[in-house]
C-alpha cells in the first residue's frame, strides 16, 4: 500500500490549490475567450502535476521494494547470525585464532606433533629423549559455520568446523599445515547425522586447559554417527550408532605393535541420559562394541562395553567442580591421548579385551570476572594383558594441569599453564614430561 511522504505531499497540495482556484475562477468570472484560455492552461498544469506525482509514486514503490526485508540482509534468529535475502536460514560464522608457545623438558623429535600438544600415551620411556624443546605454533586456530532453518519438522541445523591439525607443514619454508575436519553434521528435529562428538563423551564437563591434548583420563573422540535425541522434563536421552574401528595391539617378537582392524561389521552402540538439576548438570552413558581382528594369523571377535558418568557442579560464585569417571573393557580408542588399545591379540591369535578406567577431577576458580584458574588432575589405568609379548602396552598414565587465564576484553584470552604427565608400561618402564605453555586466543 502506498503512503504519502514528504516528497509527494507538496505536489498533491499544489494540485488541490490549483484545482480549487480554477473552479472559483469558473464560477466568479464571466465566460469569455480569455477565461476559457486560462482554464485550458490550468487544466494542462494540473495534468502535468498529476503525471509528476504518478512518476514519483512509481519511483517510491520501486525504492521500497529494493530495500524491503526480502531483498536485504537481516538479523538471524541466534546472536551474531544473519539471514540472506529471500531466505529463512540463519547463518553464523565463528572460530578463533590461537597461538601457543610451549617449553617441554624433553622433545619427541624434530617437527613432531607430540611437542605441540600433550599425548601421555606417547611419552618417551627411560629418559630416551632430547633435552628441552621450545615450540611455537598456531595449529589450534579453527573456523566454523553454522546454519539454522525453521521447518514443519523442527529446526534444520548444520555445523561444519575445521582446524589446522591436519598434515604437518614445513617449518623451514612457510609453516603451513593442512586443514582437518572436526565437525560436519546436520540435524532435523531430534535426528542428527554426520561427524561430531561421540554420544558416549561429554564435552561440556571437560576442564578448561590451554593444552590442546587435555587430561589423560578424558574420553575424547569425534566420529560419524546417526543419533536420535528426545527431551523430557529436566533433561534428555539419546541413542546412537557410531563408526566402529578396532585398534589392537598385536603380539610379536619386538613387544607388540598397534594397528587398526578393517574387519568391523557392527557399529558402536551408545545410549545416554542428561539431567539438568538445581545441583548441576549430570550425564550417564553406556556403550557396547564388537571388537574384531581378521589377519593372516588371527581371526576373532569379542563384545565389550563401558559406562561413564559426568558432572558440572556450581560451587561458590562462578566457580565449578567438574568430573568424569569411565570404566569398561571396550574404552580403548575412546580414551584420548593414545593411551590404550581396544584389546590385544596374543601369539595364538586370540583376541583379549582388557579392563580400563579413567577419571578427571577439576576445579575452576574465578579470582575476578576476567581472571580464572583451573586445576585438573587425571589418571587412566588398564589391567595386565594376557600375553607377555605385549610388554610395551601402557599400564597407567597420569596428568596434572594448573593454569591462570586472563580475559582483559571480550573474546580475548591470554594464559599460562603448567603441565606434568607420566606413563608406565606393563614391564615397569616409565617416562615423565614437564611442560610450560603460554597462549593467546582471539575469538570471533
Cell of 362: 577439576
Cell of 379: 589418571
As a whole number, the mean pLDDT across the chain is 87
Q: Is the pLDDT of residue 427 over 50?
A: yes
Q: How many helices (H) and strands (E) does the chain have?
A: 2, 23
- DSSP letters along 1-35, please? -----TTTHHHHHHHHHHHHHHHHHHHHSPP-HHH
Q: Is the pLDDT of residue 29 over 50?
A: no
pLDDT more than 90, % of the chain: 60
pLDDT digit string, tens, across residues 42-89: 788 888 888 888 888 888 777 766 666 566 788 888 888 999 888 899
When mean pLDDT is compared across 107-111, 214-218, 362-366, 438-442, the lowest value belongs to: 107-111
When mean pLDDT is compared across 287-291, 331-335, 384-388, 437-441, the lowest value belongs to: 384-388
The mean pLDDT value for 87-100 works out to: 96
230 close to 241: Cβ distance less than 8 angstroms: no
pLDDT digit string, tens, across residues 314-373: 999 999 999 999 999 999 999 877 789 998 888 888 899 999 999 999 999 999 999 999
pLDDT band for position 111 (cuts 50, 70, 90): low
- Which segments of 275-356 does DSSP mark as H helices, in order? none
The mean pLDDT value for 367-387 works out to: 89
Q: What is the pLDDT of residue 255?
A: 53
The mean pLDDT value for 202-206 works out to: 96
Check residue 37 and give left, alpha or beta (phi > 0: left; psi -120 to 50: alpha).
Answer: alpha
Q: Is the pLDDT of residue 203 over 50?
A: yes
Q: Is the pLDDT of residue 433 over 80?
A: yes
Predicted TM-score (pTM) of the model is 0.82
Q: What is the pLDDT of residue 104?
A: 94
Q: Is the pLDDT of residue 11 over 50?
A: no
- The residues, any chain, with a CB within 8 Å of residue 335's CB and separated by 6 or more, are 217, 218, 219, 220, 326, 356, 358, 380
Cell of 286: 553406556
Amino acid at each position: 500500500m502506498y503512503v504519502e511522504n514528504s516528497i509527494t505531499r507538496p505536489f498533491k497540495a499544489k494540485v488541490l490549490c490549483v484545482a480549487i482556484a480554477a473552479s472559483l475562477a469558473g464560477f466568479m468570472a464571466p465566460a469569455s475567450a480569455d477565461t476559457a484560455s486560462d482554464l485550458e492552461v490550468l487544466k494542462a498544469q494540473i495534468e502535468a502535476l498529476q503525471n509528476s506525482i504518478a512518476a514519483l509514486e512509481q519511483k517510491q514503490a520501486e525504492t521500497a521494494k529494493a530495500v524491503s526485508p526480502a531483498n536485504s540482509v537481516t538479523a538471524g534468529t541466534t546472536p551474531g547470525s544473519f539471514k540472506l535475502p529471500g531466505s529463512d536460514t540463519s547463518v553464523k560464522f565463528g572460530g578463533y585464532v590461537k597461538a601457543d608457545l610451549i617449553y617441554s623438558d624433553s622433545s619427541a623429535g624434530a617437527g613432531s606433533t607430540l611437542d605441540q600438544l600433550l599425548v601421555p600415551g606417547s611419552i618417551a620411556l627411560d629418559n630416551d629423549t632430547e633435552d628441552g624443546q621450545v615450540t611455537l605454533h598456531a595449529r589450534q586456530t579453527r573456523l566454523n559455520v553454522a546454519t539454522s532453518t525453521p521447518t514443519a519438522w523442527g529446526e534444520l541445523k548444520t555445523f561444519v568446523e575445521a582446524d589446522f591439525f591436519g598434515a604437518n607443514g614445513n617449518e623451514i619454508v612457510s609453516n603451513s599445515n593442512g586443514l582437518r575436519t572436526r565437525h560436519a553434521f546436520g540435524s532435523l528435529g531430534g535426528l542428527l547425522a554426520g561427524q561430531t562428538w561421540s554420544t558416549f563423551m561429554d564435552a561440556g564437563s571437560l576442564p578448561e586447559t590451554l593444552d590442546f591434548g587435555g587430561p589423560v583420563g578424558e574420553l575424547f573422540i569425534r566420529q560419524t554417527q546417526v543419533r536420535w535425541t528426545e527431551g523430557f522434563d529436566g533433561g534428555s536421552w539419546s541413542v546412537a550408532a557410531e563408526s566402529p574401528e578396532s585398534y589392537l595391539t598385536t603380539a610379536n617378537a619386538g613387544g607388540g605393535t598397534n594397528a587398526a582392524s578393517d574387519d568391523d561389521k557392527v557399529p558402536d552402540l551408545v545410549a545416554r541420559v542428561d539431567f539438568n538439576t538445581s545441583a548441576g548438570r549430570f550425564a550417564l552413558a553406556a556403550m557396547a562394541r564388537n571388537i574384531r581382528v581378521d589377519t593372516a594369523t588371527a581371526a576373532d571377535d569379542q563384545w565389550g562395553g563401558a559406562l561413564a558418568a559426568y558432572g558440572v557442579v556450581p560451587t561458590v560464585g562462578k566457580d565449578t567442580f567438574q568430573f568424569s569417571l569411565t570404566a569398561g573393557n571396550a574404552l580403548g580408542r575412546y580414551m584420548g591421548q593414545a593411551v590404550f588399545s581396544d584389546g590385544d591379540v596374543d601369539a595364538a591369535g586370540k583376541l583379549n579385551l582388557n579392563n580400563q578406567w579413567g577419571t578427571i577431577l577439576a576445579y575452576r576458580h574465578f579470582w575476578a570476572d576476567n581472571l580464572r584458574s583451573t586445576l585438573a588432575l587425571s589418571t587412566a589405568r588398564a589391567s595386565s594383558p594376557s600375553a607377555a609379548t605385549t610388554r610395551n602396552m601402557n599400564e597407567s598414565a597420569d596428568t596434572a594441569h594448573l593454569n591462570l587465564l586472563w580475559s582483559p576484553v571480550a573474546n580475548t584470552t591470554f594464559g599460562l599453564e603448567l603441565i606434568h604427565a607420566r606413563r608406565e608400561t606393563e614391564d615397569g618402564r616409565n617416562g615423565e614430561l614437564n611442560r610450560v605453555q603460554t597462549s593467546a586466543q582471539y575469538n570471533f
